[in-house]
Amino acid sequence: MFSHLLPYLLLVSFSAGPMNNFGLAKMKAINRSSYDGVAVRLTSPYDTGHHSMSDFAKAVRFFRDKSGKQIWPWIFFNRFVGSEEGGKTHSPLSNTPAFRRIKGMDIYNKEGALEDFFTRMRISLAISRRLGSPGIVIDPELYNDYGVSDISRLAKRIGKPEGEVKRSLEAVGVRMCDIADKQYPGATIWFLDTGLSGKGSRPFFSSGRHYRSFTYIIRGLLERAGSKHSRIIVISGGEISLTYCQESLEGLERGIKQRGMDYEPLLEKYPNLALGGTIAPWISSGAKKGWMKEGSCGASKIKDLDEFRPLVKKLLRSYNHVWIYGAWAGGYDPFRTVAQGKIPLGRTAFFKHQTYDLPCRGVLPGTASHDVPEIKQ
């Protein structure tokens, strides 16, 4: 067994690339940083191939030999989300026959996409356990069609009553809990957000009078975990309820306070639930592009990485789990080396160990097994 001091700082960035393409240059960069761990995509969120543990054996050996940080396999709900002509998506990669065959979400496994997601979850948990990492990251964002985050629209696409669809979504979460308990007892499942507070300003997440559809899955997972006294930890990362961008330190403080009040009854109801914090830094105001020029990101008074210091310090003092989103829209590429880029990892403004003397409030448990675990069905 191993333990890791909390608060825990995780890097999440699409620039990490998929697991089988995580090269030595990126490994050296992350090893030099002060992150405790890094999320690495098992595959692309638009990948529809069928995979087995053997497909990632070389990557696992590479991480075991070269990594000085904890590797969190990262998977996506998008695997079982359908796309359709005129749907709300940002990527042409959604327009594939495999996704077009799915009506809304493949929660009844008619196209085999849900079972494929479960397989990816088993593989990810097995890899995490093999590497001695605390767990996995799950991105619930419905990239193929944000419209089906609305339960009414999803039910219409599937052709079933809303109540039945909600129960079926929760059943997906039940299965996820059972898979985690069998594959990696005590694992941490770090969702970028859960939507449990029912709040969030991002337009493609709006859901009216209902929870977002993916939230019913996570609720099912938490209900199952509580009923069977599971040891898994489920982190609600804050992408929706806290958001990536803050206009000021004062704004962040207000957001943390309000979120705490919103989640207080949920934390009492779900003993396996924990809150995490997040932020997406930019290297300078002028480097912001795309979605970072809009809303609270565009209105922010923060000028550069150095001015993120007090905000990240506040996050690390407020939550045991904090993830930094390295977004292309902010110009922050966390995998550049000192020689190759402008951001010297390990000396940036907001890493905890070199900048702050933070109190240890606990440990994050995991397993450091050196035997390759089987994929348990």
Judged against a pLDDT cut of 80, whether residue 374 lies above it is answered with: no
Of 63-77, 217-231, 296-310, where does mean pLDDT reach its minimum? 296-310
The pLDDT tens digits for 254-283 are: 999 999 999 999 999 999 999 999 999 998
pLDDT the model gives residue 333: 83
- Between 88 and 102, residue with greater pLDDT: 102
pLDDT the model gives residue 376: 61
Q: What is the pLDDT averaged over residues 141-156?
A: 94
Amino acid at 353: H
The pLDDT tens digits for 193-218 are: 999 988 654 444 444 556 899 999 99
Of 7-21, 173-187, 234-248, 359-373, where does mean pLDDT reach its minimum? 359-373
Judged against a pLDDT cut of 60, whether residue 10 lies above it is answered with: yes
pLDDT the model gives residue 375: 59
Residue ranges of domains in the chain, CATH in brackets: 2-366 (3.20.20)
pLDDT the model gives residue 196: 94
Q: What is the pLDDT averaged over residues 154-178?
A: 97
The pLDDT tens digits for 93-141 are: 999 999 999 999 999 999 999 999 999 999 999 999 999 999 999 999 9
pLDDT the model gives residue 62: 97
Q: Of all residues in the chain, what percent carry a pLDDT higher than 70?
A: 84
Judged against a pLDDT cut of 90, whether residue 192 lies above it is answered with: yes
Q: What is the pLDDT averaged over residues 241-260?
A: 93
Q: What is the Cα–Cα distance from 93 to 143, expressed in whole angstroms?
A: 10
Tell me the pLDDT band of 4, cut-offs 50, 70 and 90.
Answer: low
Judged against a pLDDT cut of 70, whether residue 364 lies above it is answered with: no
Q: What is the pLDDT averaged over residues 169-195?
A: 97
Q: What is the pLDDT averaged over residues 299-309?
A: 90
Judged against a pLDDT cut of 90, whether residue 190 lies above it is answered with: yes
pLDDT the model gives residue 359: 32
Judged against a pLDDT cut of 50, whether residue 26 lies above it is answered with: yes
pLDDT the model gives residue 200: 57
Tell me the pLDDT band of 45, cut-offs 50, 70 and 90.
Answer: very high
- Between 25 and 209, residue with greater pLDDT: 25
Of 6-15, 48-57, 225-234, where does mean pLDDT reach its minimum? 6-15
Average pLDDT score, the chain: 87
